[in-house]
Structure formats: C-alpha cells, structure tokens
Amino acid sequence: MRTEQDSMGEVKVADDALHGASTQRAVDNFPVSGHRMPVAFIRALGLVKYATATANRSLELLPADKAELIAKAALEIHEGKHDGEFPVDVFQTGSGTSTHMNANEVIANRCSQLAGEDLGSKKPVHPNDDCNLGQSSNDVMPTTLHLSVVLALRDTLKPGLGKLQKALEKKADDFKDIAKIGRTHLMDATPLTLGQEFSGYAAQVAKGIERLERAESALAELAIGGTAVGTGINTHQDFAARVVEAINDKTGLNFREAANHFEAQAGRDDCVEVAGQLSAVAASLSKIANDIRLLGSGPRCGLGELSLPATQPGSSIMPGKVNPVMSESLVQTSIYVQGLCGVVANCGREGQFELNATIPLIAHSLHEAIACLGKAAGLFADKCVAGIEANADKIEEHLRQSLMLVTALTPHLGYDQAAKVAKQAHEEGKTLREVVLDQELMDEEELEKALDPQQML
C-alpha cells in the first residue's frame, strides 16, 4: 500500500493503483451494488478530459507539456486501457464527483508514470489544479452523460435495430404474395398478405431508428463551461466552445454548448425525453416479438402460420418440445428496458435547485437499456427472423374457414343480411359460400368473385 492525501487527510491506496485517495474513499463509502459506472460512460469521460486539456492548452492556460501528458492519459482512458481503474459503485454521490475525481486521479497518476515520477506524487500533474482546470463535476458529468449516450445510441442500438429492420423487410418481400386472414381484438378480421403484416413490423423498427435520431438531437447541448452552478466561475469564456470543438473533431458529431447553463445542470429533462424514446422502441419490439411467437404457436394445436427456427430444446420433461425462446428473450428485455426508463423518469424529477443529483443512476439506466436492447434486437434478427418460414397450407386453411370474408359481401347483401349469413354459417358449421348459395342470395360466379381473398387486399 501507498499513502495518498486529499483535502480530508491520508488514505491508503494499493501500490499499483492509478486511482488515488478520493477514489478509495468512495470505494469504502459506497459498497452498495457491485455495479460500477458503465464502461461506455468511463470511456466518454476520458474523451471529455482529453477535450478539456486540448482547450486549456489552446487557451494557454496549461503549459504544453502538461496538456500533452493529460491528453495522452485521457485518450488511454477513452480507448479502454484503464477500465479496471474505475471501481466506484453507481450508487455514489449524485453529481458523480467520485467518478470524476477517479478520472482526474487516474490521469494524474498516469502522467506521473509517463514522466518517471512516483504514483501519488501529483507530479508533474495535479488532479485538481491541472486535470480539473476550468471544470466542475457539475458540468463535466452531464457533458459526459450526453456524449456517452449519443455514442451508445449510434454505435450499439442503431446497428441492432438496423439489422432487425433489414431482416423484417426481407421477410416482407419473401411473403408478399401469401394471402392470410387478419386479426383484430385477437378475432378473425379481413385478409391481408403475410408480407403486408411483416412490412408493418419493419416500419415499426424504422420509426424506432427515427426516434433514436430525435433522442440524439435532444442530447446535442453540452453543459461544459458552467462549472459549479452554471455561472462559469473559474473558467475561461471561450473554454466551452473549445471543448465542444475538440469533442466534435474526435467523434464527427455535432454537439454545441448549452444555450442556458443553469438549465443544463439543474435539469435532466433531456435524458427523460431519451428514456421515453427508448421506452417506445422497447414497446414496439415487444409487440413484434409477441406477434411472431403467437403466429408460430403450435405446431399443431396453435395458429401454426409460421415456423420459427428451433434454437434449443424447450422442456426438461416433454421430449421434442421447442419454444419461441428468442421472442421470449426480446419480450423480457423490453420489459426490463421500460423499467430502466421509468427509473430515468423518476430521476428527472429529483433535481433540486442548481443540480440534479442522480446522474450516476441515469447513466447506468440509459446505458444498460441501450446495451440490452441493441444486443437483443440483433440476436432476434439473426436467430429468429432470418429463419422464419411461412406454413402456406395452414395459412390457406385459416383463410378459407374465416367468416370475416363476409365483409366483402356487404356491398351485395347489405350489412344486416351479411351478418345473418355469418351467424348462420357459424351456428351450422357451414361455409359462407354454402349459406349464400342455399338461400340463393347471389349467383355462384358473382359469389366466387366477391369471396376471392386477392380482391380484398
């Protein structure tokens, strides 16, 4: 162990640890869940610290040698080289100061290594005076939250949804000529094609991707430059603009400085909005997964209109049973994601005065939701949708048995007479065709044309 010191005194830290006294205090104070801050958040924090060092150098607030060391160490964090040096629990100080100081200490100690100085010496770089120059946890952590979530939406969730959209569009094309019975209220309705049904699923996912783009737009403002309460105390007036420019150069994104720094730090309405978009995506994916498993139910005593890929044995007691496990996985993921989004909504109302003090929990919830949903969507595309086959015989059987084809007879018979035909057919176990011809309500040629499902699409 080595002895490090912060404003409260001495703390013992492991000899080889890059983090320091402030981090160790947080580890000791918050052994709550075992859930560390999301890796994606930590890596984005490294990028923010790189950008702040770059800005401070360009403003000649940091000597070039210090700025270069800080930028190098910060980029190492961004590249994932020091993930293990961030042990602080999610349930920590609500501003995320513990994780922010964790980053400052790792950077400072890494700079010491690079300069040939002892760990904990704060030479040549000080974690507060240099790494934190012109910054506060209260603007750095909201900035990191926005940056990390936008990167996760772009790099994790969008690709998963895109893969699922393409898989569904392919099935919509494959099934475009298969007429089937529609269902509303879980009851028989008028016909459509299986391709049309799948085109609706594909469109839901496409709208989900559009929702993510709106979510990214909601997070475009960065709080950096506001420091403690939004006034920008102890920071250069051009600092925020330089930081944002450096972030955009590295990511290719289009962030901008917050129009109002007081709102940017006191409220997390933007994250609540993003949670709403994610909840909507989760709802649509659950709907799709449930429809597909219901259409594939059986194989003999259910609807049986689809054959789903068999991925694993379905029962420990019933030999040969195969269950729609990929649908079930996606449904459970969607429920979990909506729960996480509810957490974010609750966090959003916990801002008091000049700061929302639930930033670590918001970060955990959004990143967990994005990671799970992106992975589950991609797996559902690969392991379920891609291998779906249509059971044409069963689909045709259901179509011919449906009484709701009677809808096409309404222009010929009127609503009331058509309803009587449908009820009589149901009660007597006859087809619509048999009842209409028995009662000589229409001639056979006209009836056949009216009952042709292709004419109802």
Phi and psi at residue 193, to the nearest 5°: -95, 155
Give the separation between CA 340 and CA 372, rounded to whole angstroms.
11
DSSP alpha helix (H) spans, 349-409: 359-383, 392-401
The token duo for 211 is: 């929702």
CB 106 within 8 A of CB 75: no
CB 48 within 8 A of CB 245: no
Rg over alpha carbons for the chain, rounded to the nearest Å, is 30
- Looking up tokens 């450096």, which residue turns up? 246
Question: Residue 366, exposed/middle/buried by CB under 10 A (0-12, 13-18, 19+)?
Answer: buried
Which one is catalytic: 7, 82, 98, 315?
A: 315
DSSP string, 55-98: HHHHTTSS-HHHHHHHHHHHHHHHTTTTGGG---BSSS-TT-HH
The token duo for 111 is: 């700079």
Question: Cα dist. 14→11, 18, 45, 77, 83 in Å?
Answer: 10, 9, 23, 19, 16
The token duo for 196 is: 């049309």
CB 48 within 8 A of CB 224: yes
Give the separation between CA 45 and CA 430, rounded to whole angstroms.
70
Helix or strand run (H / E) with residue 204: helix 194-218
Residue 185 annotated among the catalytic residues of the structure? yes
Q: Are strands 306-307 and 256-257 parallel, antiparallel or unpaired?
A: unpaired
DSSP string, 341-364: HHHHHHHHTTEETTEES-HHHHHH
Question: Residue 249, exposed/middle/buried by CB under 10 A (0-12, 13-18, 19+)?
Answer: exposed
Give the separation between CA 261 and CA 269, rounded to whole angstroms.
14
Instruction: Identify which of 364, 178, 199, 208 has the alpha carbon closest to the alpha carbon of residue 286.
Output: 208
Q: Catalytic residue positions?
A: 185, 315
